[in-house]
Structure 1
Amino acid sequence: MSFLTMKTSCMFSRMYPLLISSALAVMVYLIITLPSRSQPGKHKPHSQLYPFNTSSQSITPVYGTRHFMVGAYKEYRVTGRSVRIISIFRRDSVEPLYCVFYCGADWAKTGMEAEVQVHSDHFGFPFGTTDVLCPHPPGCHPTHVTLSKQADAQYAQNHTFLRIQNLLKRDEEETFPLNFTVCVSNLFGDYNNVLQFAQTLEMYKLLNVQRVVVYKTSCGPDLERLLRSYTDDGFLEVVPWRIDKHMTPSSGWQPTEHGGDIHYYGQLTTLNDCVYRYMYQSRYVLLNDIDEIITPYQHETLTQLMEDLQRQHPEAGVFLIENHIFPKSQFEPSGRFDRLSWRDIPGINIMQHIYREEPDYRIYHPSKMIIRPRTVEQTSVHSVLRNFGETINVPPQLCHIIHVRVPLQNGLSKEELHEDKRIWDYEKQLVPNVDKALERAGFLTTG
């Protein structure tokens, strides 16, 4: 070994403890000062990436008004309007508003006058679903928007902004990431119907649905656990919907009978928001309640059903599906599906209820819908309010809703109902899949 090598080795051996000590000191400093990924809320907020506050909530107050923004979406179909903001407005307080845009790197020079469209369906409640249409600001490619009482962009910089969604438009011919998405409007109160919810979701999987979306205000603890399980596997999206923090929602349809500020926990708003949320992700969107299954009767899957319907009606964008009631008070007598493992699971076992009411066509009989979201501008619960295509009534023998609930026509005996075992056709896959879902969520144990 040369003298130079020995000297270098000696110097390094003397410096080594010092280097280690310094490195440890730096590591300790970084651990203390930098945000930890394992500590929620310690990150730099997303809004700090921009010179304004970005909303992280599903309901955002409009500064200085009695109105609320829900979601901002790029609008490609309406001439002269570039962004649609799904909103909730106090109907007696509509006032001139301006859309203030952030253009990705700088502000639009001035706010653009907004066009406010309160939906025609509000059932007489003080608050109603509202579309706010915003013109495209000159020379701006907007990424965020807010509503303001003044056109001055500087005045609005302290407002809360929404991120504009659907900026990446998909061509009509391009393959959609999803084929079918179910939008379930509202989950509130202590609803804890675990078994029926699991059966419904597993049934939809067999029908070729790829995503279910639920807007949740609250639910029971057991159902909360099931929701988390389905969310973890990517099949379910739960949108927090704390409308009760902003107003008194009604659990009914008539303000004189049920009271409240907005009907049925803002159901119309959630349906419209879900249509736009999945407009460029899903070829079809199903709009129905949590205890309803839109079921084909001459096809095995919704894919096969819609291929035939679309071939027959190429211009159709809205397909109305009749709601058929299966009274939960009437049970199938053999006990074939009275499974011991399901008895302690909260909720209704839909496979035990195979008797269906004949709809009374002498009175209004509501439907739910399968829609092509790009053809719909505004929707209500049982029909669309504005759309760009044809509307088709699907014959009930081809497809109708299996809706297990309290009877609609009270007093009917079993002999006055129709036997309908369609759900049993999926037994071989449905039953074990429900067991797996309940086991995954911790309701059933193996062995």
Structure 2
Amino acid sequence: MEHNKWKTFLGICIINILLILVWAYLNWPSDYTSMPLYNKLKIPEVIHSITPIKDSQHFMVSAFIDHRLDGTIRVISIIDRHHLQPLYCIYCTIEHCKAVETDVWIHSDHFGFPFHVSDVICKGEHLEDATDVFISTKSSLDNEPHEYLPIQNRVMSETFKFNFTVCISNLFGDYNNVLQFAQTIEMYKLLGVQRVVIYNTSCGPGLDKLLKHYEWEGIVEIVPWQIDKFVSPSPGWNFKKSKGDIHYYGQLTTLNECIYRHMYQSKYVLLNDIDEIIMPYQYANLPSLMKNLQAEHPNVGVFLIENHIFPKTQFEDSGRFKRLEWRNISGINIMEHIYREPDRNDVFNPTKLIVNPRMVEQISVHSSLKNFGETYHVPFDVCRIVHVRVPLQGHLTKEQLAVDKKVWEFEQDLVPNVDKALERSGLLRPNS
């Protein structure tokens, strides 16, 4: 008797399942323009930072809600300017998925390269409720699997995890300037930086060890940037000289991506190269610098900082910082290079930037292309960039260069901190 009851119950369950399947088949949307979430195909997890857009020459990188533009979806993308075509946003909320038209905003400073950073703007209402999106060449949904990007910045915040974040692009060509990198990170820590973001295509073995240490420590965030797997990146900025598909390994894409990634994580974002230090000269650190600059210029969201060259070919005479402990560490010792090239009347000093990311829409290497506030050129004597590299005025003698010992002011903390970082990375033996 009990056995027959179970058979009857099981039969009823099977009949109900069949009825549900028949109902789902009859009610499945034929045009896929608006599909309930429970009918959506499973979203594959995106584990890389560059995703090809199917049936196109383009790529999507990351997606964000832009609350400054009425909550629209902005997808940071790499667009082939020579093969433009209509693109559509396929976005999903917790209830449904939908296809909408887009505007494609190609940034103006492409330097002649065919591939360039662009904003794909999804056109529609109530997009702020979306959780995932992908860019399609089709105007409707289909039943094929797609790689959706998670939409970031869905919630605005007035409190920030970090006060200062440095965005550095890009590591490539097996870059292995270990000592200068360690000195730069430790200097930034002393100046008040809590996060340094690295977009890594390739680096040398020594720097790889150091990066892993800093990542474990928590100050460095490494973003894999395998741009060379998709296009032929240029190692330079001038298309006529360097050729390639995209400017400087996609530098402008990473800088813009970094700003949006940290828009509600960091109060300020510094944008500069790996061998540059944005150095306050009239203030002890970055917090005191920006507190005063922002008080004096409350409507400014972009602060331009002049770049100044310290030739790596000129060494200070005493040998004070030619330390035996660092003799086997690859790279430049910035503390040995205290001579700065003078300004030239007929040459404009390029700038790098400190920005309020919530006031920036599009950024370039040396300036902001679109921003919601004002721009201020910070005077040379208030803050400037210490940039130790090959000289630009190589004909000048040491006597014709200016002496600038600013980094020496940090000797007491900087030197032992660099030693500790190198030791913990396995690059320097204790008491060597």
Normalising by structure 1, we get a TM-score of 0.86
Distance 1:50 1:340 in 2: 61
Contact 2:128 2:154 (C-alpha < 8 Å) held by counterparts = no
Partner of 2:92: 102
Aligned to 1:125: 113
4+ residue segments displaced more than 3 Å: 136-140
- Aligned counterparts, 1:38-437, within 5 A: 51-79=42-70, 82-108=72-98, 111-137=99-125, 141-154=129-142, 157-170=144-157, 174-437=158-421
Alpha-carbon shift at residue 64 of structure 1 (Å): 0.6
Provide the C-alpha distance between the structure 2 equivalents of 1:94 and 1:54, rounded to a whole number of angstroms.
28
SS at match of 1:58: coil
Size of the aligned set, in residue pairs, is 392
Amino acid at match of 2:60: M
The residue type equivalent to 1:186 in the other structure is N
Whether contact under 8 Å (1:54, 1:163) holds in the other structure is: no
Report how far residue 50 of structure 1 moved: 6.6
Q: Secondary structure at the match of 2:129?
A: coil
Q: Unmatched 5+ residue regions in structure 2? A: 1-39
Q: Which blocks of at least 5 consecutive residues in structure 1 are unaligned?
A: 1-48
Q: Deviations over 1:317-372 (max 9, x none)?
A: 00000000000000010010011001110000000000000122412321000000
Alpha-carbon distance change, 443 to 50 in structure 1, aligned in 2, over 3 angstroms: farther
Aligned counterparts of 1:377 and 1:362: Cα–Cα separation in 2 = 31
Letter of the 2:54 counterpart: Y
For 2:9, the equivalent position in structure 1 comes to none
In the aligned structure 2, how far is the partner of 1:142 from the partner of 1:151? Answer: 18
Task: State the alpha-carbon separation in 1 of the partners of residues 184 and 128 from structure 2.
Answer: 45
Shift, 1:158, TM fit: 2.2
Is the CA contact (8 Å cut-off) linking 1:103 and 1:140 kept in structure 2?
Answer: no
AA partner of residue 126 (structure 1): P
**How many Å apart are 1:395 and its aligned residue?**
0.3
Distance of 2:47 and 2:96 partners within structure 1: 21
CA distance in 1, matches of 2:316, 2:336: 5
Q: Distance in 1 between matches of 2:94 and 2:219?
A: 32
Structure 1 residues 420 and 90: CA distance shift in structure 2, 3 A: same
Work out whether residues 376 and 388 of structure 1, in 8 Å CA contact, stay in contact via their aligned partners in 2.
Answer: yes
Asked if structure 2 preserves the Cα contact closer than 8 Å seen for 1:112 and 1:137, the reply is no
Amino acid at match of 2:96: D
SS at match of 2:335: helix
- One-letter identity of the residue aligned with 1:185: S
How far apart in 2 are the matches of 1:259 and 1:92?
Answer: 15
**What secondary structure, in the 3-state scheme, does the structure 1 residue paired with 2:69 have?**
coil
Summarize the alignment of residues 9-48 of structure 1 with structure 2, pairs less than 5 Å apart. none
Query: Partner amino acid for 1:441?
Result: S
Change beyond 3 A, Cα 1:407–1:177: same
| Post-superposition offset of 1:423 | 0.2
- What SS does the corresponding residue of 1:146 show, helix, strand or coil? strand
| Whole-angstrom CA distance in 1 between matches of 2:141 and 2:168 | 37
Residues in 1 aligned to 2:360 and 2:94: alpha-carbon distance in whole angstroms: 29
Letter of the aligned partner of 1:73 in structure 2?
Answer: F
State the one-letter code of the partner of 1:66. Q
Corresponding residue number in structure 1 for 2:13: none
Once residues 278 and 50 of structure 1 are traced to their aligned partners in structure 2, the CA distance between those partners, rounded to angstroms, is: 30
Alignment RMSD (CA, Å): 1.4
Q: Secondary structure at the match of 1:256?
A: helix
How far did residue 53 of structure 1 move? 2.3
C-alpha displacement at 1:266, in angstroms? 0.4
- Kindly, what percent of the aligned residue pairs are identical? 57
Structure 2 CA distance, aligned partners of 1:401 and 1:371? Answer: 15
TM-score (norm 2): 0.89
Distance 1:371 1:194, change over 3 A: same
